[in-house]
Amino acid sequence: MVDGDWQDEENDAIVADYFAMLSAELNGQPFSKAERNRALQQTIGRGRGSIEYKHQNISAVLKGLGETWITGYKPAFNYQLALEKAVVRWLVDHPEWQQRIHQFEGGAGLAESHALWVGLPPTLSNAPPPAELEQALAVARRYNVAERDARNRALGRSGERLALEHERRSLRSAKRNDLAEQVRWISEEEGDGAGFDIASFEPSGKPRLIEVKTTNGWERTPFYISANELEVADQRRGEWRLLRPWNFAREPRAFELHPPLAAHVSLVATSFRADFHPLQ
């Protein structure tokens, strides 16, 4: 068996095999991890344990990148940067990956058959932050995962559609069919300038203004929020809510953040408006 650092060819081979298994898992297709491990042993000459651990490393890279990973391969962040680059290289070479996992959409099909589970945000959980939090966030920053999700319109629209149906279902469950009929998808009807995506209601009739930020990743995946959204959140603190659907490619879950957002997240300025000085 081969020893020493993994070479690019070996990393590329195991990353491709990992994504083949992940695709099968997401599509409900059976596969044998043991058989695929044995096949890789023959292909790249590495031992079973080395391959198993490398699978966990790939899960860690995907966690940092805000992607889902294979069940049973617990993320292990002690990996070489060359593996991280191999995973990113695979994703760049397969731009259809994001679109393919949206065929579950989490959107129309899930909205019709499953209620959205909404729990506490990680900042209000009694559990301590995971030990690998900083490592995962460092990966997310290196590849600007927040910007990627913000630009993914298919993901964003699917999350908003699920949120829309969740609001309507919640109001119907509260015997407020009248309000459920009035819930509006503002970003779809009017565009993105309102500072929120969904105009809904509490069962009491009080407005709920919901900004939806969706990711395929875990609950602590960073996200973008605009200056306009922050301004509306501040002006309408009693009504504005940020809904964060996560794990969207597999089994969508969500939590809500209430203003002020700075109590839950670190707000980092990423750009500045440049206005010319008035003429003297």
Extract the tokens encoding 269: 């300025």
Is residue 160 within 8 A of residue 254, CB to CB? The reply is no
> ∠ at Cα 64 (67, 29), nearest 5°?
30
Is residue 214 within 8 A of residue 245, CB to CB? The reply is yes
> ∠ at Cα 8 (5, 10), nearest 5°?
75
CA separation for the pair 36, 61 (Å, rounded): 20
Extract the tokens encoding 136: 């995962």
Q: Alpha-carbon Rg of the chain, whole angstroms?
A: 21
Q: What is the pLDDT along the chain (280 residues), one digit of tens a residue?
A: 777 889 999 999 999 999 999 999 998 999 999 999 999 999 999 999 999 999 999 999 999 999 999 999 999 999 999 999 999 999 999 988 876 655 444 444 444 445 799 999 988 877 777 888 999 999 999 999 999 999 999 899 999 999 999 999 999 999 999 999 999 999 999 998 999 999 999 999 999 999 999 999 999 999 999 999 999 999 999 999 999 999 998 889 999 999 999 988 888 877 777 777 776 5
Closest by alpha carbon to 60, among 13, 130, 122, 161?
130
Is residue 162 within 8 A of residue 106, CB to CB? The reply is yes
Residues 6+ apart with CB under 8 A from 45: 1, 2
Residue 266, pLDDT score: 86
Is residue 133 within 8 A of residue 220, CB to CB? The reply is yes
Q: Write the single-letter amino acid at 277.
A: H
Closest by alpha carbon to 152, among 50, 53, 219, 65?
65
Residue 131, pLDDT score: 84
Exposed/middle/buried for 25, CB within 10 Å: 0-12, 13-18, 19+? middle
Match 């070996």 to its residue by tokens: 10
CA separation for the pair 220, 227 (Å, rounded): 21
Q: In what order do the strands lie in the sheet with 240-246?
A: 117-119, 253-257, 240-246, 207-212, 198-201, 184-185
3-state DSSP assignment of residue 185: strand
Closest by alpha carbon to 145, among 60, 230, 215?
215
Extract the tokens encoding 248: 């969207």
Closest by alpha carbon to 254, among 134, 120, 136, 152?
120
Buried b or exposed e, range 151-167, using 16+ CB within 10 angstroms:
ebeebbbbbbbbbbbbb
Residue 208, number of CB atoms within 10 A of its CB: 21
